[in-house]
Homo-oligomer: A and B are copies of this chain.
Amino acid sequence: MNLTSISTPAALVDTQKMQHNIDRMQARVNELGVAFRPHVKTTKCLPIVEAQRVAGARGITVSTLKEAEQFFSAGVTDILYAVGMVATKLPQALALRLRGCDLKIICDSAAAAQAISQYGQQHSHTFEVWLEIDTDGHRSGLKPESEALIEAGRALIVSANGGARLNGVMTHAGASYDLCTPQALQAIAEQERSLCVRAAERLRAAGMSCSVVSVGSTPTALSATSLAGVTEVRAGVYVFFDLVMTNIGVCDVSNIALSVLTTVIGHQPEKNWIIVDAGWMAMSRDRGTQKQACDYGYGQVCDVDGHPIQGLVMTSANQEHGIITAPSVSADDLRSRYAVGRQLRVLPNHACATAAQYPEYVAFDSAGATQTWPRFYGW
C-alpha cells in the first residue's frame, strides 16, 4: 500500500477490518434476538455510523449532546444520551427534542429525576427518561434491589401531566474490561443481563412502565449466551477494536482496524531506540494495557502494511515524539531497517482515546484507495 503521500502522524482506518467487526457484532446481536444501538463515541464519524446503520443498527448511543446534535443533523433520530442528565443541559436536550430528535436521557437518583420532571413541566414537555442501573459497581447507577431505584422511578411519574416519562432501564458492565477469560466474561454478561432485567421487573411490580431494557459493553455483548428480558444491546469500541480488547480476549490483533501512521525521525542506537513523529498527542496518553497480561506500552508497532513487528512496542511518548524500543536489533540494523523517513504503523491501546486526538481519519480499502473522513470533538 502506498501511504507515502500522507502527512504523519495520521489515523488510518482499515475499512475491510472495520466492516468485518461491524458484521460480526451485528450477527451476534441478531442471533441473541435483540436490537443493537452502537455507541458512536468511539468514532464520532458519520460514514462509520452509516456503515453500522446499514448493517442493522437501530438508533445510536452518544456520550455528549454535541454527538446528538451532529448525528441528528445528519439524519439519525433515535438517540440515547448515556451520561446522567443535569439541569444545565436540559435546554440543549429540549431544543433537540423540539426539532424532532427522539432523544432519550438518563439519570440515577430521585434528585436528578425531579430536576428533569420540573424542567419538563415548566416547558410543557415530556422527556423520555431511562434509569441507569449499577450492575457491577464500576461507576454510576442505581442498585437493582434498592429503595432508591423505586424512589427515582416515582420522581419521574409524580404527576399525570409530568415533565418526564419513565420508559426503560440501562446499564453498562464496565467491569468487564478487567476480565480476560471466556468464563469470567460470560459470567459478567449474565450478571449485567440478570440485574438489569431485575431492576425493570421491580419497577414494573411497583406499577411503573419500563419497556426498554438496554445493556452492553463490547466484552459482554460478545460473550453473552442469553439476553432473555433484554430489548437492546449497546457497544462502541468493537468497531475498531484495540490492544485492550485483545488482552481481554474478544478480538485478535489482526482485527484492529485503527492504527497510527508515523515516520521515523531518528535513533539512539546504543539504547535500541527508534524515534518517531507519533507521541502521546498522536497515540493519546492511554496506558490501558499497563495492568493487563501483555503491556504494549503506548502501542504495538507494525510495518506500513499493518503486520505487527514482534518485540517492537512504543515504550515511551512525549508530546510529538514516540520512543520505540527494538530490544534485539543491532545499531547498524536499526539505522538501516528503520531508516530516517521510513513509515511505520502503531496499533493503539484504546481506540476511543487515540481516535479522539484526530480531526479526521484516513480510511483505506483493500484496493488501497483512500478517503478522508472527518470526525468532530468537544462538547
Contact partner of A285 among B275, B284, B319, CB < 8 A? Answer: B284
Contact partner of A319 among B41, B86, B89, B134, CB < 8 A? Answer: B41
Is A59 interfacial (CB 8 A cutoff)? no
Assembled-state Cα–Cα distance A85/B263 (Å): 10
Q: A63 and B287 in contact (CB under 8 A), knowing A8-B88, A112-B265?
A: no
What are the nearest 4 A-B pairs in CB distance? A84-B265, A285-B285, A359-B378, A285-B286
Chain B nearest Cβ from A192, distance in angstroms: 16
Binding site for B on A (CB under 8 A): 4, 7-10, 41, 63-64, 83-89, 92, 107-109, 111-112, 115, 132, 134, 137, 139-140, 174, 263-268, 271, 275, 277, 280-282, 284-287, 318-321, 323, 335, 339-341, 350, 352-353, 356-360, 377-379
Assembled-state Cα–Cα distance A7/B64 (Å): 11
* Residues on B with beta carbons closer than 8 Å to the beta carbon of A109: 266-267, 340
Assembled-state Cα–Cα distance A139/B265 (Å): 12
**Closest B-chain residue to A67, C-beta based?**
B320
Query: Could you write out 28 A-B pairs with CB less than 8 Å apart?
Result: A4-B88, A7-B88, A7-B379, A8-B88, A8-B379, A41-B320, A64-B320, A84-B266, A84-B340, A85-B265, A86-B263, A86-B341, A88-B341, A107-B266, A108-B266, A109-B267, A111-B335, A111-B340, A115-B340, A115-B341, A139-B318, A140-B321, A174-B318, A280-B353, A285-B286, A319-B352, A359-B378, A377-B377
- Contact, CB under 8 Å: B265 / A86: yes
* Residues on B with beta carbons closer than 8 Å to the beta carbon of A83: 265, 277, 320-321
Assembled-state Cα–Cα distance A358/B140 (Å): 25
Q: A340 and B86 in contact (CB under 8 A), knowing A112-B265, A285-B286?
A: yes
Assembled-state Cα–Cα distance A277/B107 (Å): 12
- Contact, CB under 8 Å: A266 / B140: yes
**Closest B-chain residue to A81, C-beta based?**
B320
Assembled-state Cα–Cα distance A211/B4 (Å): 35
* Residues on B with beta carbons closer than 8 Å to the beta carbon of A282: 379
* Residues on B with beta carbons closer than 8 Å to the beta carbon of A8: 88, 379
Assembled-state Cα–Cα distance A350/B285 (Å): 11
- Contact, CB under 8 Å: B86 / A264: yes
Chain B nearest Cβ from A350, distance in angstroms: 8
Assembled-state Cα–Cα distance A30/B85 (Å): 51
**Closest B-chain residue to A270, C-beta based?**
B143
**Closest B-chain residue to A360, C-beta based?**
B378
- Contact, CB under 8 Å: A88 / B285: no
* Residues on B with beta carbons closer than 8 Å to the beta carbon of A340: 84, 86, 109, 111-112, 115
- Contact, CB under 8 Å: A134 / B359: no
* Residues on B with beta carbons closer than 8 Å to the beta carbon of A115: 340-341
**Closest B-chain residue to A285, C-beta based?**
B285
**Closest B-chain residue to A132, C-beta based?**
B266
Assembled-state Cα–Cα distance A112/B339 (Å): 9
Assembled-state Cα–Cα distance A99/B358 (Å): 27
Chain B nearest Cβ from A314, distance in angstroms: 13
